[in-house]
Amino acid sequence: MQRASRLKRELSLLTTEPPPGITCWQNENQLNDLRAQILGGADTPYEKGIFNLEIVVPERYPFEPPKIRFLTPIYHPNIDSAGRICLDVLKLPPKGAWRPSLNISTLLTSIQLLMAEPNPDDPLMADISSEYKYNRQLFLLNAKEWTEKYASQ
């Protein structure tokens, strides 16, 4: 019951006061199955891209973080080909930084920040990470190409 009322509150807040460039909604009236869209930030290789995400809210939410993954392919050192995201707030301690005081809006904003500022020292995609570190021009070119190919409307 606590999960349902909290999710309703969070979704209503995401609808009335969404973070800039982020939208989130229920998928087919399933409270534990959400969808989100993040717009690629200006001055990033993801600019003008629209990225779709799936959010699965576990039974134990907010004591357990939601599982979030990209449905839109993205060229990024911290996001793998299955759309899984390497981000500390998406994992429980001791490895992660999830806290029940965080919410879906905070997580989506953190993912948006990660898109703009990749963390090449904690990669899911080692090859993209070393490209990001040692050949930034090629990384930017590839990321832009993927954005045009997969995230353009």
Look at residue 3 in the predicted model and tell me its pLDDT: 87
Give the pTM: 0.95
**Helices 126-134/136-150 angle, 10° precision:** 130
Summarize pLDDT for 8-61 with one digit per residue, the tens. 999 999 999 999 999 999 998 888 999 999 999 999 999 999 999 999 999 999
The backbone region for 2, taken as left when phi is positive above 0, alpha when psi lies in -120 to 50, beta otherwise, is alpha
Q: How confident is the model at residue 145 (pLDDT cuts 50, 70, 90)?
A: very high
The Cα–Cα gap between 85 and 111 comes to 8
What is residue 153's predicted lDDT score, i.e. its pLDDT?
Answer: 78
The residues annotated with a catalytic role in the active site are 86
Instruction: Give the pLDDT of residue 98.
Output: 98
Please, what are the domains in the chain? 1-151 (3.10.110.10)
Q: Is 132 helix (H, G, I), strand (E, B) or coil?
A: helix
The distance of Cα 86 from the centroid of its chain, to the nearest Å, equals 9
> What is the pLDDT, as a whole number, of residue 115?
98
Token pair of 68, please? 């979030």
Nearest residue to 24 (alpha-carbon basis) of 56, 53, 65: 53
Q: Please state, in angstroms and rounded to a whole number, the distance separating the CA atoms of residues 91 and 112.
A: 17
Amino acid at 132: Y
Peptide bond into 94 cis (omega under 30): yes
Inter-residue contact 23 to 35 (CB < 8 Å):
no
Question: Could you report the per-residue pLDDT of 61-101, keeping only the tens digit for each?
Answer: 999 999 999 999 999 999 999 999 999 999 999 999 999 99
Q: 31 near 4, Cβ under 8 Å? A: yes
